[in-house]
């Protein structure tokens, strides 16, 4: 098997992932609490559904915020060669994408409020089939990668 791509994401992306996941887990937990709280008013049921929800929420917070980001960070790799972009990611289902620059239609950078707060950006490389995102690069590095990918795509189309 081919060796892993050389480049890693910026380490600050772990904090971004934690904040994003914490927001989503909290929203889902609040929705679940809205469904569970009415059950506590049934005398035969009592507080057990709410206690069970709290235990599940603590377990989910521990797994998603403490355990997964470092593993996800280690598994996320990318590399740009003259002919293709190589992306490897995934914890359980590992995915490897090799995107020939001849297929690239568009490249851009994106920066939401959380990424912006950490000085990070994401690079998106679009083909006819799919968009491939490299999240959590330093903003300057993301712009350089976007420009390099766009230039390599232009050169690949000229060679045909």
Question: Does 89 lie in the same domain as 69?
Answer: no
Residue 140 CA, distance from chain mean position: 19
What's the token pair of residue 64? 């998603």
Whether the Cβ atoms of residue 19 and residue 114 lie closer than 8 Å to each other? yes
- What pLDDT is attached to residue 62? 95
Question: Does 95 lie in the same domain as 141?
Answer: yes
Cα torsion through 136, 141, 143, 146, rounded to 10: -80
Percent of the chain with pLDDT over 70: 99
Question: Does 134 lie in the same domain as 103?
Answer: yes
Question: Does 116 lie in the same domain as 129?
Answer: yes
Question: Does 51 lie in the same domain as 37?
Answer: yes
Question: Does 143 lie in the same domain as 113?
Answer: yes
> Could you give the number of structural domains in the chain?
2
Could you tell me the pTM of the whole model?
A: 0.88
Question: Does 114 lie in the same domain as 43?
Answer: no
Residue span of the structural domain in which 111 resides: 77-159
Q: Dump pLDDT digits (tens) for 24-52.
A: 999 999 999 999 888 888 888 888 888 99
Of 50, 73, 96, the one marking the end of a domain is 73
Question: What's the number of CA atoms in the CB half-sphere (13 Å) around residue 160?
Answer: 10
Q: What is the mean pLDDT of residues 112-116?
A: 96
Coil, helix or strand for 120? strand
- What pLDDT is attached to residue 158? 83
Coil, helix or strand for 12? coil
Percent of the chain with pLDDT over 90: 82
Asked, for residue 3, whether it belongs to a domain, the answer is no
Least confident range of 2-6, 102-106, 118-122, 132-136: 2-6
The whole-angstrom separation of Cα 147 and Cα 152 is 9
Question: Does 48 lie in the same domain as 21?
Answer: yes
């Amino acid at each position: 098997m081919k060796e892993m791509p050389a480049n890693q994401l910026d380490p600050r992306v772990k904090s971004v992932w934690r904040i994003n996941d914490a927001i989503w887990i909290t929203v889902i937990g609040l929705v679940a609490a809205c469904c569970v709280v009415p059950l506590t008013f049934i005398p035969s049921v009592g507080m057990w559904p709410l206690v069970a929800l709290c235990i599940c929420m603590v377990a989910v917070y521990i797994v998603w915020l403490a355990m997964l980001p470092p593993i996800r960070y280690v598994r996320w790799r990318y590399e740009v060669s003259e002919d293709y972009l190589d992306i490897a990611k995934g914890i359980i289902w590992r995915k490897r994408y090799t995107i020939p620059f001849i297929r690239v239609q568009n490249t851009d950078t994106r920066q939401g409020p959380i990424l912006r707060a950490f000085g990070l950006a994401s690079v998106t490389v679009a083909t006819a089939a799919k968009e491939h995102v490299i999240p959590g690069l330093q903003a300057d590095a993301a712009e350089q990668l976007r420009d390099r990918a766009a230039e390599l795509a232009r050169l690949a189309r000229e060679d045909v």
